[in-house]
Structure 1
Amino acid sequence: MTIALIILIALFGALVRTVFGFGEALVTMPLLALVGFNIQASTALIGALGLLVALPATVKYHTKIDFAVVRRLVAGSVLGVPVGILLIKTVNRSLVLHLFGGFLILYGAYSLLKVLRNRPGKAHLHANGWDYLAGIISGTMGSAFNSHGVPVVIYGTLKRWPIDTMRGILQAHFVCVGVIVVVSQVASGFWSMEVVKLLCIIVPLLFVVIPFGNWLTAHIASETLVKYIYMLLIVFGGLLFFR
């Protein structure tokens, strides 16, 4: 029964990533902890699945990807990874999670309110240097809390990237960072035969989940999807704040 629940949770995470472009770790990690799945195995499983889901999405949206932006984001992420490791070793974890969660709730609620009032606002952070900073924050939050997608999403909403552009940049970023994450997790001993067996069961099911997620996405208007993304940021903020 536990294995079935783990598989369902992982597939739900893959569906969330396919539809919204991010957030599978924030959804799945708390749920996997609730069913008693080992934290290192959970991290390895979700890291590998995140990479696998990002690959076809990158191919699908490759014409929308600004690869110069991706290179700057990835360069910043590489710099941010050791910062995140230092963060979890020196700063109170609960404090950081509460601050980050509170920020997501406030930002998501504020942005959602503006959209509902038809006041989306102007694009911000035009200079290319902001890409590096967004990448650093992404790498920091990714290595510390498996939340590397959320900072990039917030950055994309501030820059008012079109939805497909955001999807393309997000997934290309995930592929580059995901390779680094998976390799580091393998080197750190996070992988086990249990993770491999679960992947052997889950990966074939992705051929059903990913097309279904793409079908759902195709039937959601871009304006509606933006609202859902802000709602998701509020939910994720709540998950982190009350973790």
Structure 2
Amino acid sequence: MSITLIIMVVVAVFVGALMKSMFGFGEAMVSMPLLALLPITLQTSVSLIGLAGLTVALLTVFSGWRHVERAVLIRLAVSTVIGIPFGLVLLHTASAIVITFGLGIFLIAFGGYSLVKKILSRAIERPLLNNRGWVFPFGFASGVLGSAYNFNGVPIVVYGTLQRWNPDRFRGTLQAHFLISGVLVVTGHALGGLWTFDALIYYAYSLPAILLATALGVFLNKRIHAGNFERYLFIIIIVLGILLLLPRGSN
């Protein structure tokens, strides 16, 4: 564990935490691909970002609590619990190359979707998912993707977009879900044996950067036009997904 590697890990965590505190999501979408390019194990990356994401959620959730869709949040929590074991099985049974390739495909698909979601939203005059039961498959997917890739927010982003949540409800519900699912996912990682000594060391080094990124993200969120920045973020996500599809040595 060299100083150079520690600095690179901290930078990757910082960038992801900054994205999450600014937009309410995006930490794992940015940090996981960056960490995948470094010589650390997938299990270490997953557990590290799980801990970092939970920390950011703890620091930001209270500011938007009054906007949370509480009934939806309860259903999400229940279905997320069901999905977590499936994600852990996927992480333990699939090879790192398969997971990394799948991660790359997923990043490209999600980035492409996100770039056109505003056009989609303008074309939709009312929510597409009126039945309350739709929340369960999205929650289940959140549990699977959260425990396997730390992408527990991605299905909720899609669900919130299709429900046409306003920005306050979107951010508040997403952060509350991150807090609950983050506790569940991190617990699943611990029980599943994903916590490594390296992950805890990297987390300790990254904690000051996480605190700084959270404060900076909240500050910038109130002072910049999120639309253009969000567009650039999703372009970067697509580029990172393409990078993960390129041949490289395994960890």
| TM tier, smaller | 0.7 to 0.9
Q: Structure 1 unaligned runs (5+)? A: none
**Map of 1:46 onto structure 2:** 49
Cα deviations by residue, 1:54-86 (Å, 9 ceiling, x for unpaired): 012111111111111111111111122234345
Tell me, in whole angstroms, the C-alpha distance in 2 between the residues paired with 1:38 and 1:84. 17
**Map of 1:69 onto structure 2:** 72
Tell me, in whole angstroms, the C-alpha distance in 1 between the residues paired with 2:43 and 2:211. 26
Asked if structure 1 preserves the Cα contact closer than 8 Å seen for 2:147 and 2:189, the reply is no
Q: Alpha-carbon deviation of 1:177?
A: 1.2
**Map of 1:154 onto structure 2:** 158
**Map of 1:29 onto structure 2:** 32
Structure 1 residue 183 corresponds to structure 2 residue 187: yes
Q: Alpha-carbon deviation of 1:200?
A: 2.8
**Map of 1:145 onto structure 2:** 149
Deviates more, 1:46-55 or 1:78-87: 78-87
Question: Once superposed, what is the RMSD of the aligned Cα atoms?
Answer: 2.7
User: 1:147/1:228 Cα in 2 relative to 1: closer, same or farther (>3 Å)?
Assistant: same
Q: Alpha-carbon deviation of 1:31?
A: 1.4
AA aligned to 2:202 is L
Deviates more, 1:195-204 or 1:47-56: 195-204
**Map of 2:248 onto structure 1:** none
Tell me, in whole angstroms, the C-alpha distance in 2 between the residues paired with 1:192 and 1:96. 23
Match among 116, 120, 123 for residue 110 of structure 1: 116
Deviates more, 1:70-79 or 1:92-101: 92-101
| Identity of matched residues, % | 34
**Map of 2:224 onto structure 1:** 220
Tell me, in whole angstroms, the C-alpha distance in 1 between the residues paired with 2:107 and 2:18. 23
Asked if structure 2 preserves the Cα contact closer than 8 Å seen for 1:97 and 1:241, the reply is no
Q: Size of the alignment, in residue pairs?
A: 237
Q: Structure 2 unaligned runs (5+)? A: 245-251
AA aligned to 1:70 is L
Asked if structure 2 preserves the Cα contact closer than 8 Å seen for 1:102 and 1:237, the reply is yes
User: 1:45/1:98 Cα in 2 relative to 1: closer, same or farther (>3 Å)?
Assistant: closer
**Map of 1:16 onto structure 2:** 19
Tell me, in whole angstroms, the C-alpha distance in 1 between the residues paired with 2:74 and 2:223. 31
The 5 Å alignment of 1:65-144 reads 65-85=68-88, 89=93, 93=99, 96-97=102-103, 100-101=106-107, 103-114=109-120, 119-122=122-125, 123-144=127-148
Q: Alpha-carbon deviation of 1:22?
A: 1.3
Structure 1 residue 236 corresponds to structure 2 residue 242: no
TM-score scaled by length of structure 1:
0.83
User: 1:133/1:33 Cα in 2 relative to 1: closer, same or farther (>3 Å)?
Assistant: closer
